[in-house]
C-alpha cells in the first residue's frame, strides 16, 4: 500500500519496525534511517528474511534539515515516523513540510538545553501543515498516545462530560539491576527529576518532584507506590476533553530507583549544564547515560507486567459515572515476540498504529493534531489486533 520512513533505531523504533514488518499489507516499503547506520543494518538483516516489507537503511543526522530533506525526497515515503529523540521533532517537521509528507511522533518537542516539554512549539506549525495539505499526528505512543485515545473513546461512548482523569502508568517489571531506566535514560531522568504538576480548574498546579505519593492496587500487578509527575498529554487533554476539571498523571517507582536517583541528583550527575572535564565539555546526564545499562538490553532480564490506563469520573444522562480503561502487558511475552521489554513495546505498537491510520487515510485531517482529536474507534480496534488489548472496568477503585 505505501512507503514509510522511520527515523531512529533505538528501543521504541525497534518494536515499531517489527510491527511494520508484520503489517506488510499496509507498509510495503520501509526506510530505517538513524544516526548509527550499523544498528539499522542489523535490524534489517534480522527482519528481512521474515517479511514481505522491502527494507532499506540509511544514515541520517536528524538535526540537519537539508540531510533529512534529501533522504525523504530520494525515498519518497507517504509517512515519516519520528522515533528519534524529542530534540529532533521540529527539524523533522520542517523536513516533512518541505517534502509535503505526513509526520507522526510519540513525544513532544523539548529543547536540548532546557528540561521543559510543551506543545506550543509544535502547535505553532498548524497553519503551515494545513496549507501544505499534510498531517502531523502528535503523541502516538502509549502515554501520550493510547491514554489519550482511551480518553477520546470514553468521551465518545461512555460520558456526556468527563470531569476528572487520573492517568496511571505502572511498571511492575523487574530487570534485576539496582538502577536502570526503561527507555532513553537522558529523557527518562529529565522527566522524573523535573517538578510535578497537574491541571485543575483551568490552571497548572506545580509540585516538588515526587512530592505527591499514592498507593494503588493495579489489576494483574498488585499494590505499588506511585508519584505525581508532569506529563505532556495533560496539556492537550485539558483543551480537548469536554467538562474537564482535573487531570493528574501518576507513575510507579520502586524504592531502589528513587534512592539511586536522589543520590545521583545530590552529586550533580543528573544535571544538563555542561561542565569541563579534562579539557573537554561534557553534560553530566549524558555521561551518566553512557555508564547505565542500555534500555535495549533489558528485554531478556525483565520479568513482570506493565499496567497503563486512565480512570475517568464524569456524568452520563445526569448521573455520576466512573470508568477505568487499561492495558496489561507482559515483559517476557513482548521479549518472545519482538526481543524488547514491555516499555518499548507499549510505545512502539501504537507508533505503528498511528502511522497506519495516516497511511490508510482512516485519519485524514490536514494540520497538526494531538491523537485524541481523531476518531478513537479504529485505533482501539487496532490495539486489540496488534498486541495491546484493552480492558474496561465500569466500577473501578478511584485514586483518593
Ligand atoms: N509516548 C510514549 O509512551 C513514549 C514512551 C517511551 C519513549 N517515548 C519516546 O520515544 C522516543 C524514542 O525513545 P527510545 O527509548 O527508543 O530512545 P533510544 O533507544 O535512545 O533511541 C533513540 C534513537 O534515535 C537516534 N537518534 C538520536 N539522535 C539522532 C539524530 N540527531 N539523528 C538521527 N538519529 C538520532 C538514536 O541513534 P543512536 O542509535 O546512534 O543512539 C537512537 O537510535 C523518544 O522520543 C522518547 O521520548 C515515548
C-beta separation of 383 from 389 below 8 A:
yes
Considering only CA atoms, which of 78, 106, 87, 99 is closest in space to residue 35? 87
Q: Each residue of 276-316: pLDDT tens digit?
A: 999 999 999 999 999 999 887 888 999 999 999 999 999 99
Adjacent-strand bridge partners of 393: 324
Does some domain include residue 249? yes
Query: Confidence band (pLDDT; 50, 70, 90) for 184?
Result: confident
The finding on whether 57 has its CB within 6 A of some atom of ligand 1 is no
Domain of 258? 146-339
Does some domain include residue 200? yes
CATH of the domain at 191: 3.30.360.10
Considering only CA atoms, which of 57, 121, 54, 75 is closest in space to residue 94? 121
Atom of ligand 1 at shortest range from CA of 182: 15
Say what the pLDDT of residue 185 is: 86
To the nearest whole number, what is the mean pLDDT of the chain? 96
Q: Each residue of 87-139: pLDDT tens digit?
A: 999 999 999 999 999 999 999 998 887 767 789 999 999 999 999 999 999 99
Atom of ligand 1 at shortest range from CA of 9: 43
Total Cβ atoms within 10 A of residue 283: 16
The finding on whether 108 has its CB within 6 A of some atom of ligand 1 is no
DSSP 44-99: HHHHGGG-SSEEEEEE--TT-HHHHHHHHHHH--SEEEE-S-GGGHHHHHHHHHHH
- Pocket probe mutation, ligand 1, options 33, 83, 149, max atoms within 8 Å of Cβ: 83
CA atoms within 13 A on the CB side of 97: 17
Does some domain include residue 305? yes
Please tell me the total count of domains within the chain.
1
C-beta separation of 342 from 335 below 8 A:
no
- The pTM assigned to this predicted structure is 0.95
The finding on whether 143 has its CB within 6 A of some atom of ligand 1 is yes
Atom of ligand 1 at shortest range from CA of 294: 19
User: CB neighbours of 373 closer than 8 A, spacing ≥ 6?
Assistant: 152, 240, 365
Distance (angstroms) between ligand 1 centre and the Cα of 87 equals 10
Does some domain include residue 63? no
Does some domain include residue 320? yes
C-alpha–C-alpha distance, residues 343 and 142, integer Å: 9
Q: Each residue of 213-229: pLDDT tens digit?
A: 999 999 999 999 999 99
Helix H or strand E segment including 321: strand 319-330
Does some domain include residue 52? no
Does some domain include residue 349? no
Atom of ligand 1 at shortest range from CA of 296: 19
Does some domain include residue 301? yes
Q: Each residue of 338-365: pLDDT tens digit?
A: 999 999 999 999 999 999 999 999 999 9
Amino acid at each position: 500500500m505505501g512507503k514509510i520512513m522511520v527515523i531512529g533505531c533505538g528501543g521504541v523504533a525497534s518494536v515499531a519496525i517489527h510491527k511494520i514488518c508484520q503489517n506488510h499489507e499496509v507498509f510495503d516499503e520501509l526506510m530505517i534511517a538513524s544516526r548509527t547506520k550499523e544498528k539499522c543494518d542489523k535490524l534489517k538483516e534480522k527482519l528481512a528474511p521474515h517479511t514481505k516489507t522491502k527494507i532499506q537503511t540509511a544514515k541520517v543526522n536528524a538535526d540537519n534539515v537539508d540531510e533529512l530533506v534529501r533522504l525523504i525526497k530520494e525515498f519518497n515515503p507517504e509517512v515519516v515516523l519520528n522515533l528519534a529523540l524529542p530534540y529532533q521533532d521540529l527539524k523533522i517537521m520542517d523536513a516533512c513540510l518541505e517534502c509535503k509528507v505526513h509526520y507522526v511522533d510519540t513525544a513532544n518537542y523539548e529543547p536540548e538545553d532546557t528540561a521543559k516539554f510543551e506543545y506550543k512549539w509544535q502547535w505553532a506549525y498548524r497553519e503551515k501543515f494545513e496549507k501544505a495539505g499534510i498531517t502531523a499526528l502528535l503523541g502516538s505512543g502509549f502515554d501520550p498516545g493510547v491514554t489519550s485515545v482511551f480518553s477520546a473513546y470514553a468521551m465518545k461512548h461512555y460520558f456526556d462530560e468527563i470531569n476528572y482523569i487520573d492517568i496511571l502508568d505502572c511498571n511492575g517489571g523487574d530487570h534485576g539491576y539496582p538502577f536502570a531506566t526503561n527507555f532513553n535514560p537522558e529523557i527518562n531522568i529529565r522527566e522524573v527529576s523535573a517538578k510535578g504538576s497537574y491541571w485543575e480548574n483551568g490552571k497548572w498546579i506545580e509540585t516538588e518532584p515526587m512530592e505527591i505519593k499514592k498507593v494503588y492496587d493495579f489489576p494483574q500487578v498488585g499494590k505499588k507506590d506511585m508519584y505525581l509527575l508532569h506529563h505532556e498529554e495533560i496539556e492537550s487533554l485539558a483543551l480537548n476533553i469536554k467538562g474537564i476539571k482535573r487531570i493528574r498523571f501518576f507513575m510507579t517507582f520502586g524504592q531502589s530507583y528513587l534512592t539511586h536517583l536522589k543520590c545521583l541528583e545530590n552529586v550533580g550527575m543528573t544535571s544538563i549544564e555542561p561542565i569541563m572535564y579534562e579539557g573537554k565539555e561534557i553534560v553530566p546526564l549524558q555521561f551518566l547515560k553512557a555508564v547505565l545499562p542500555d534500555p535495549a538490553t533489558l528485554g531478556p532480564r525483565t520479568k513482570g507486567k506493565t499496567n497503563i490506563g486512565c480512570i475517568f469520573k464524569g456524568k452520563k444522562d445526569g448521573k455520576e459515572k466512573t470508568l477505568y480503561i487499561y492495558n496489561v502487558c507482559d515483559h517476557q511475552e513482548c521479549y518472545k515476540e519482538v526481543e524488547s521489554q514491555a516499555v518499548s513495546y507499549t510505545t512502539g505498537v501504537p507508533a505503528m498504529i498511528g502511522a497506519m491510520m495516516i497511511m490508510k487515510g482512516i485519519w485524514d485531517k490536514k494540520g497538526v493534531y494531538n491523537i485524541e482529536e481523531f476518531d478513537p474507534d479504529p485505533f482501539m480496534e487496532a490495539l486489540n489486533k496488534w498486541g495491546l488489548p484493552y480492558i474496561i472496568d465500569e466500577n473501578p477503585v478511584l485514586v483518593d
